[in-house]
Amino acid sequence: MRIDKASFPVTVRVGHCETRDIWEGLLGVRLRLSDPELVDNLRDFLERRECAVIEIDAETLEVELPHELHAEQARLELDLYLRVWQSLHEWSSVEYVEKL
Protein backbone atom coordinates (compact mmCIF):
# COMPACT_ATOMS: atom_id res chain seq x y z
CA MET A 1 0.00 0.00 0.00
CA ARG A 2 1.43 3.39 -0.98
CA ILE A 3 0.25 6.77 0.23
CA ASP A 4 2.79 9.49 -0.32
CA LYS A 5 2.70 11.71 2.76
CA ALA A 6 5.10 14.36 1.50
CA SER A 7 4.49 17.77 2.96
CA PHE A 8 1.40 19.01 1.13
CA PRO A 9 -0.86 21.84 2.30
CA VAL A 10 -4.49 20.93 2.91
CA THR A 11 -7.18 23.55 2.45
CA VAL A 12 -10.37 22.95 4.40
CA ARG A 13 -13.32 25.34 4.20
CA VAL A 14 -16.45 25.56 6.30
CA GLY A 15 -19.77 24.44 4.87
CA HIS A 16 -20.97 22.59 1.81
CA CYS A 17 -19.04 23.03 -1.42
CA GLU A 18 -21.31 24.52 -4.07
CA THR A 19 -20.88 23.81 -7.78
CA ARG A 20 -19.57 27.30 -8.54
CA ASP A 21 -16.85 26.78 -5.90
CA ILE A 22 -15.74 23.56 -7.56
CA TRP A 23 -15.29 25.25 -10.92
CA GLU A 24 -13.30 28.04 -9.28
CA GLY A 25 -10.80 25.38 -8.14
CA LEU A 26 -11.24 25.93 -4.41
CA LEU A 27 -11.00 22.32 -3.29
CA GLY A 28 -8.03 21.33 -1.21
CA VAL A 29 -6.14 18.11 -2.05
CA ARG A 30 -5.34 16.37 -5.32
CA LEU A 31 -4.95 12.61 -5.51
CA ARG A 32 -3.57 10.55 -8.40
CA LEU A 33 -4.48 6.90 -8.85
CA SER A 34 -2.21 4.33 -10.45
CA ASP A 35 -5.25 2.73 -12.11
CA PRO A 36 -7.47 5.28 -13.92
CA GLU A 37 -10.27 2.71 -14.12
CA LEU A 38 -10.77 3.12 -10.35
CA VAL A 39 -11.28 6.90 -10.36
CA ASP A 40 -15.08 6.58 -10.29
CA ASN A 41 -14.85 4.00 -7.52
CA LEU A 42 -12.67 6.21 -5.30
CA ARG A 43 -14.82 9.28 -6.03
CA ASP A 44 -17.96 7.38 -5.00
CA PHE A 45 -16.23 6.06 -1.87
CA LEU A 46 -15.16 9.56 -0.77
CA GLU A 47 -18.53 11.13 -1.63
CA ARG A 48 -20.27 8.55 0.59
CA ARG A 49 -18.08 9.96 3.38
CA GLU A 50 -19.40 13.44 2.55
CA CYS A 51 -16.26 14.64 0.81
CA ALA A 52 -16.59 17.05 -2.13
CA VAL A 53 -14.82 15.43 -5.08
CA ILE A 54 -14.24 16.47 -8.69
CA GLU A 55 -12.39 14.63 -11.43
CA ILE A 56 -9.48 16.72 -12.73
CA ASP A 57 -8.42 14.22 -15.40
CA ALA A 58 -8.55 10.48 -16.08
CA GLU A 59 -6.39 9.63 -13.05
CA THR A 60 -6.64 12.67 -10.74
CA LEU A 61 -9.28 13.75 -8.21
CA GLU A 62 -9.50 16.91 -6.15
CA VAL A 63 -10.95 16.34 -2.66
CA GLU A 64 -12.17 18.43 0.25
CA LEU A 65 -13.62 17.28 3.55
CA PRO A 66 -17.08 18.71 4.27
CA HIS A 67 -16.47 20.08 7.73
CA GLU A 68 -14.07 22.42 9.42
CA LEU A 69 -10.96 20.71 10.72
CA HIS A 70 -7.43 21.79 11.51
CA ALA A 71 -5.31 21.03 8.43
CA GLU A 72 -3.47 18.17 10.17
CA GLN A 73 -6.75 16.62 11.37
CA ALA A 74 -8.19 16.88 7.88
CA ARG A 75 -5.15 15.17 6.43
CA LEU A 76 -5.33 12.36 9.00
CA GLU A 77 -9.02 11.80 8.22
CA LEU A 78 -8.39 11.71 4.48
CA ASP A 79 -5.42 9.36 5.02
CA LEU A 80 -7.72 7.04 6.98
CA TYR A 81 -10.31 7.02 4.18
CA LEU A 82 -7.58 6.30 1.63
CA ARG A 83 -6.13 3.45 3.70
CA VAL A 84 -9.56 1.82 3.95
CA TRP A 85 -10.16 2.24 0.22
CA GLN A 86 -6.70 0.87 -0.61
CA SER A 87 -7.26 -2.16 1.61
CA LEU A 88 -10.16 -2.98 -0.73
CA HIS A 89 -8.09 -2.26 -3.87
CA GLU A 90 -4.63 -3.58 -2.98
CA TRP A 91 -3.45 -3.66 -6.59
CA SER A 92 -3.85 0.12 -6.91
CA SER A 93 -1.97 2.99 -5.32
CA VAL A 94 -2.96 6.57 -4.51
CA GLU A 95 -0.57 9.48 -4.11
CA TYR A 96 -0.94 13.13 -3.20
CA VAL A 97 0.00 15.47 -6.04
CA GLU A 98 0.89 19.12 -5.93
CA LYS A 99 -1.53 21.58 -7.49
CA LEU A 100 -0.14 23.51 -10.45
The set of residues, in sequence order, having a beta carbon less than 8 Å from that of 19 and lying 6+ positions away, is none
Quote the pLDDT of residue 73.
Answer: 83
CATH at residue 63: 3.30.70
The residue among 38, 13, 34, 36 whose CA lies nearest residue 24 is 13
pLDDT in tens, 8-61: 333 333 333 443 343 343 447 999 999 999 999 999 999 999 899 999 999 999
Quote the pLDDT of residue 18.
Answer: 43
Quote the pLDDT of residue 63.
Answer: 93
Instruction: Give the Cβ contact number of residue 74 at 10 Å.
Output: 20
Domain count across the chain: 1
Return the higher-pLDDT residue of 88 and 2.
88
In the predicted model, what is the mean pLDDT of residues 53-80? 86
Expressed as residue numbers, the domain containing 89 is 3-97
Kindly report the pTM of this predicted structure.
0.70
